[in-house]
């Protein structure tokens, strides 16, 4: 496991509110419990439960959002989540989150994202590069420290309207200088119809944002086909593909964000031995290992590398190559790709 921690890694599929530490959630629940807003014991039971179906996971997210969605907490969890990824040698992190509006506390999608940015700027354990061409970095007085590149994807939740999705895309465009590089479509896959979001997704693409879609978490072949025809730059999960869509995915070579623990815990895939990682890896299909929700599923990116290595019999060198190849699929610019390649080159020397 140690080498999985020490090697540099690229995380491309991590939801902010799914990556919150259990200890932070419990602390927040205790405070709201004392105020009588929630029943602490109910929350404790839900948070500490280790296996959840996909349906239960979305119920948990509703609970997490009650605990986290105020400006100062959003700032706190962003800082903690980035520091947690940095502590296990993630060198490039694409963190995704759904900008939320809550009129009762004066929160707009923009002010939510401003709170996220504040959290990023508060990170103190590493230097964070978060904007195009090194425009902004929270470097500490010329000291040479570890550097983490962070970029953001703004998520559209499948419960939202076309207008709300469009507002998210416009916000993403306005925040490009703050490191927003793309749009994600996520949320409960059995809710809504993805065509509701097509105008916003098309607009995002026209304006030069990258798009990744949660695709094939449930066996809806028609939706999967239409999503692939949209030609997103990446897709997440790809669990419930039938033969025809499988062939289409492979011929289009759309990179897949693989979330092993998440798929097993939510029973989207019944067992690791039949996970599609193995077939895609063998076919040299573009792949990247990711955590999805490291807090909710009690995992880490090093843990995902360790799991893939042991479940599919891959050694240190193969796992290192897998991590390095992920650089090709990041949404940040070529300058960042070059700098990441240099980081991996140095690490490869140490590996020998
Ligand atoms: P947030 O966007 O609030 O920072 O992160 C939590 C949200 O991400 C959830 O409410 C949900 O919309 C989305 N999400 C997290 N994990 C998953 C997943 O495994 N599948 C899908 N479809 N959406 C997810």
Give the pLDDT score at 106. Answer: 97
Give the H or E element holding residue 289.
strand 287-289
**In whole angstroms, what is the distance from residue 239 CA to residue 219 CA?**
8
Give the pLDDT score at 350. Answer: 79
Q: How confident is the model at residue 138 (pLDDT cuts 50, 70, 90)?
A: low
**In whole angstroms, what is the distance from residue 183 CA to residue 167 CA?**
12
Give the pLDDT score at 48. Answer: 76
Q: How confident is the model at residue 287 (pLDDT cuts 50, 70, 90)?
A: very high
List, for residues 2-13, the tens digit of each pLDDT value.
999 999 999 999
**Residue nearest ligand 1's atom 14 by CA:** 187
- Cα 254 to Cα 208, 281, 286: the distances in Å are 18, 13, 7
**Which atom belonging to ligand 1 lies closest to the Cα atom of 214?**
22
**Which atom belonging to ligand 1 lies closest to the Cα atom of 293?**
16
Mean pLDDT of 231-242: 98
CA proximity to 180, closest of 264, 110, 95, 256: 95
- Which of 13, 17, 238 maximizes ligand 1 atoms within 8 Å of its Cβ, making it the mutation to test the pocket? 17
Give the pLDDT score at 227. Answer: 98
Q: Which of 59-63, 105-109, 328-332 has the lowest mean pLDDT?
A: 59-63
List, for residues 29-79, the tens digit of each pLDDT value.
999 999 988 888 877 777 777 667 888 888 889 989 999 989 999 999 999
The verdict on the CB of residue 262 being under 6 Å from ligand 1 is: yes
Instruction: Indicate the average pLDDT of the chain.
Output: 94
* pLDDT at residue 152 is higher than 70: yes
* pLDDT at residue 312 is higher than 90: yes
Check: complex ipTM more than 0.85: yes
Cβ contact 269:263 at 8 Å? yes
* pLDDT at residue 273 is higher than 60: yes
Give 169 Cα–ligand 1 centroid separation in angstroms. Answer: 17
Q: Which domains does the chain have, with CATH numbers?
A: 2-351 (3.20.20.140)
Catalytic residue among 88, 114, 160, 217: 217
**In whole angstroms, what is the distance from residue 305 CA to residue 262 CA?**
13
The answer to whether 217 is a known catalytic residue is: yes
* pLDDT at residue 133 is higher than 70: no
Mean pLDDT of 284-302: 96
């Amino acid at each position: 496991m140690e080498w999985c921690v020490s090697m540099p890694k690229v995380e491309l599929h991590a939801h902010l509110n799914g990556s919150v530490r259990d200890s932070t959630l419990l602390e927040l629940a205790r405070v709201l419990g004392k105020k009588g807003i929630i029943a602490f014991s109910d929350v404790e039971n839900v948070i500490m439960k280790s296996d959840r179906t996909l349906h239960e996971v979305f119920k948990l997210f509703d609970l997490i959002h009650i605990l986290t969605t105020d400006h100062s907490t959003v700032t706190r969890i962003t800082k903690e989540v980035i520091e947690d990824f940095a502590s296990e040698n993630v060198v490039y992190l694409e963190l995704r989150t759904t900008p939320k509006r809550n009129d009762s506390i004066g929160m707009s999608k923009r002010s939510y994202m401003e709170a996220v940015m504040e959290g990023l700027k508060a990170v103190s354990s590493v230097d964070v590069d978060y904007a195009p061409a090194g425009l902004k970095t929270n470097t500490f007085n010329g000291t040479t420290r570890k550097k983490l590149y962070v970029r953001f994807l703004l998520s559209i939740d499948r419960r939202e309207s076309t207008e709300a999705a469009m507002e998210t895309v416009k916000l993403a465009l306005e925040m490009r200088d703050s490191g927003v590089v793309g749009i994600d479509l996520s949320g409960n896959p059995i809710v809504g119809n993805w065509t509701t979001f097509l105008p916003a997704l098309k607009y995002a693409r026209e304006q030069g944002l990258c798009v990744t879609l949660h695709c094939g978490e449930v066996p809806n072949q028609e939706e999967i086909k239409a999503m692939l025809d949209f030609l997103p730059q990446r897709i997440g999960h790809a669990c419930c593909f039938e033969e025809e869509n499988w062939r289409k995915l492979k011929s289009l070579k759309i990179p897949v964000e693989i979330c092993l623990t998440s798929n097993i815990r939510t029973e989207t895939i019944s067992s690791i031995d039949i996970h599609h990682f193995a077939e895609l890896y063998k076919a040299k299909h573009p792949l990247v290992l990711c955590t999805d929700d490291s807090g909710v599923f009690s995992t880490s990116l090093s843990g995902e590398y360790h799991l893939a290595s042991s479940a599919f019999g891959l050694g240190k060198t193969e796992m290192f190559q897998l991590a390095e190849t992920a650089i090709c699929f990041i949404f940040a610019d070529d300058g960042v790709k070059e700098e990441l390649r240099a980081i991996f080159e140095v690490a490869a020397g140490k590996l020998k």
